[in-house]
């Protein structure tokens, strides 16, 4: 393969290799603590029953709150907590990670294929050798 064409294809493969490599780097270097429910969007205790149950001394927190058995002590005294005063924040990192896994695997496969093509091109394995006519061994 002529040096100009080899340089062209090497640079083309290198640029195309950067696209999934940068996307993979960005996805893997992202902070994992950003997937918490924002504090302004706390989930009420009654709406979170499908994801979490909280127990205190083997009793459900919801029933303890309804019975007025959970108290909050502060400078002004103690007050009984109500169900509406409890809010939960969820860490959705496990769900986000599971959703992003196929895309990350595709990026990794593209990086591997691009690196293999670049290696084959750099070592001259993709060089055009010309066709041999019939009967030529």
Structure tokens at 96: 């986000």
| Calpha distance 20→103 (Å, rounded) | 10
Q: What is the DSSP letter of 40?
A: G
Q: What is the pLDDT of residue 1?
A: 64
- Global pTM? 0.55
Q: What Rg do the C-alpha atoms of the chain give, in angstroms?
A: 30
Split into its structural domains, the chain has a count of 2
Answer yes or no: are the C-beta atoms of 49 and 55 closer than 8 Å: no
Residues 113 and 75 in one domain: no
Residues 50 and 86 in one domain: yes
pLDDT tens-digit series, residues 88-103: 888 888 888 888 899 9
Per residue of the chain (137 residues), what is the pLDDT tens digit? Answer: 677 887 888 888 888 889 889 988 988 888 877 788 888 888 888 888 888 888 988 998 888 888 888 888 888 888 888 888 888 888 888 888 888 899 999 999 999 998 998 888 888 776 666 667 676 55
Tell me the H-state helices in 29-92.
Answer: 61-66
Count CB-CB contacts under 10 A for residue 62: 16
Residues 63 and 107 in one domain: no
Range of the domain at 65: 37-90
Q: CB-based contacts of 56: which residues, under 8 Å, 6+ apart?
A: 64, 70
Q: CB-based contacts of 42: which residues, under 8 Å, 6+ apart?
A: 87, 88, 89
């Amino acid at each position: 393969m002529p040096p100009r064409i080899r340089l062209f294809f090497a640079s083309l493969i290198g640029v195309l290799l950067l696209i999934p490599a940068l996307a993979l780097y960005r996805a893997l270097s992202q902070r994992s603590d950003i997937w918490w429910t924002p504090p302004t969007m706390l989930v009420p205790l009654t709406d979170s029953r499908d994801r979490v149950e909280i127990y205190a001394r083997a009793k459900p927190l919801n029933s303890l709150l309804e019975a007025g058995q959970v108290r909050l002590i502060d400078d002004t005294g103690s007050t009984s907590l109500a169900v509406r005063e409890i809010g939960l924040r969820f860490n959705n990192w496990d769900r986000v990670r599971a959703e992003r896994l196929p895309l990350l695997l595709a990026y990794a496969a593209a990086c591997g294929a691009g690196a293999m093509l670049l290696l084959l091109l750099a070592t001259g394995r993709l060089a055009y050798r010309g066709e041999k006519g019939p009967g030529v061994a």
